[in-house]
A and B are shown apart, each in its own frame.
Chain A
Amino acid sequence: MSEENRIIKDISMLYELTLSIGRSLDLIDNIGLFMKTFMTRKNYEIGAVYLNQNRLNKNDYDLILAHPEVRVLTKKVNKDHILIKMLEEKKSFSIASSEDGFNELITENGVDKGEFLVFRLQNLGFIKFYSSVRKIKFSELELNQMATVIDIFSVSITACLDHKRLLFEARKREKAEIALVAEKKLHKERTHFVSAVSHQFRTPLAIIQANADLLNMVLAKMEINNNKIPKITRRINNEIDRMVDLMNELLDIGKVNQENIVVKNQDINIVELIEDLNDNIKLVQKDGRILTINVKGKSKTISTDPLLIGNAINNLISNAFKYSRASNPKVNVNYLLRVVQIQIKDDGIGLAPKDKKNIFKPFYRSENVLNIPGTGLGLSIAKRCVELCSGTIKVESIPNEWTTFTIELPY
Chain B
Amino acid sequence: MYLSPINTQDLYQFLIKEKLHENETFCLYFSEKSNVEIADLIKLLNKSEIPFFGAIFPAVIHNGEHYDNGVVISKLKNVVSTHLVQGLDQNKMTIPEFKIAPNKNYCALTFVDGLAPNISLFLSEMYDKYGKSISYLGGGAGSLSFVQKPCLFFKDGFYDNAALIVIVETQVSLGVTHGWKKLKGPLVATKTNKNVIEEINWEPAFLVYQKYILEDSGKEITKDNFFSIAKGYPFGMHKDYAECIVRDPIATDVNNRLVCVGEVPENTVLDLLKGEQSALINAAENAAMISRSSASSEVNNVILIDCISRTLFLEDHFSKELTVIGQELKKSTKNQNLAGALTLGEISSYGNGNLEFFNKTTVVGLFHE
Contacts and interface: CB of A to CB of B under 8 A. Distances in A.
Interface in A1-40: 8-9, 12-13, 15-16, 19-20, 33, 36-37, 39-40
A13 B267 CA distance: 10
B127 A68 contact: yes
A141 B280 CA distance: 34
A386 to B, nearest CB: 56
B80 interface: no
Interface string B124-148: 1001111111000000000000000
A232 B191 CA distance: 94
A12 B186 contact: yes
Contacts of A39: 353-354
Nearest to B186: A12
A43 B353 contact: yes
A40 B245 CA distance: 9
Contact of B268 (A8, A16, A68, A70): A16
Contacts of A119: none
B237 A40 contact: yes
Contact residues on A (Cβ < 8 Å of other chain), bracket: 20 to 34
Interface stretch (A126-134, A175-183, A234-242, A353-361): A126-134
B238 interface: yes
A43 B239 contact: yes
B188 A15 contact: yes
A298 interface: no
B269 interface: yes
Contacts of A19: 266-267
Interface in B347-362: 351-354, 356
A33 B43 CA distance: 44
A37 B245 CA distance: 13
A45 interface: yes
A-side binding surface: helix, strand, loop or mixed? helix
Nearest to B190: A19
A379 B356 CA distance: 73
Interface in A36-85: 36-37, 39-45, 67-71
Nearest to B267: A19
Given A70-B129, A131-B353, A43 B267 contact: no
Interface string A114-137: 000000000000000001111100
B353 A133 contact: yes
A110 interface: yes
B186 A43 contact: no
A12 B269 contact: yes
Nearest to A42: B240
Contacts of A68: 127-132
Contacts of B353: 39-40, 43-45, 131, 133
Contact of A45 (B188, B245, B265, B352): B352
Contacts of B133: 70
B239 A41 contact: yes
Given A19-B267, A20-B267, A69-B128, A40 B239 contact: yes
A349 B176 CA distance: 92
Nearest to B133: A70
Interface string B96-128: 000000000000000000000000000010011
Contacts of A9: 186, 238
A77 B247 CA distance: 39
A71 B130 CA distance: 8
B270 to A, nearest CB: 9
Contact of B186 (A8, A45, A135): A8
A39 B127 CA distance: 13
Contacts of B351: 43, 133
A90 to B, nearest CB: 22
Interface centre among A16, A36, A37, A70 (most CB of B within 10 A): A16
Contacts of B267: 15-16, 19-20
Nearest to A67: B128
Given A12-B188, A68-B130, 14 more contacts: A9-B186, A9-B238, A12-B186, A20-B265, A37-B265, A39-B354, A40-B237, A41-B237, A41-B240, A43-B351, A68-B129, A110-B132, A133-B242, A133-B351
29 contacts: A9-B186, A9-B238, A12-B186, A13-B238, A16-B268, A19-B266, A20-B265, A36-B124, A36-B354, A40-B245, A40-B356, A41-B240, A43-B242, A43-B351, A44-B353, A45-B352, A67-B124, A67-B128, A68-B127, A68-B129, A69-B129, A70-B128, A70-B131, A71-B132, A131-B353, A133-B242, A133-B351, A134-B240, A135-B241
Interface of B: 124, 127-133, 186, 188, 237-242, 245, 265-269, 351-354, 356
Interface of A: 8-9, 12-13, 15-16, 19-20, 33, 36-37, 39-45, 67-71, 110, 131-135
The 6 closest A-B pairs by CB, nearest first: A68-B131, A19-B267, A12-B186, A12-B269, A70-B131, A71-B131
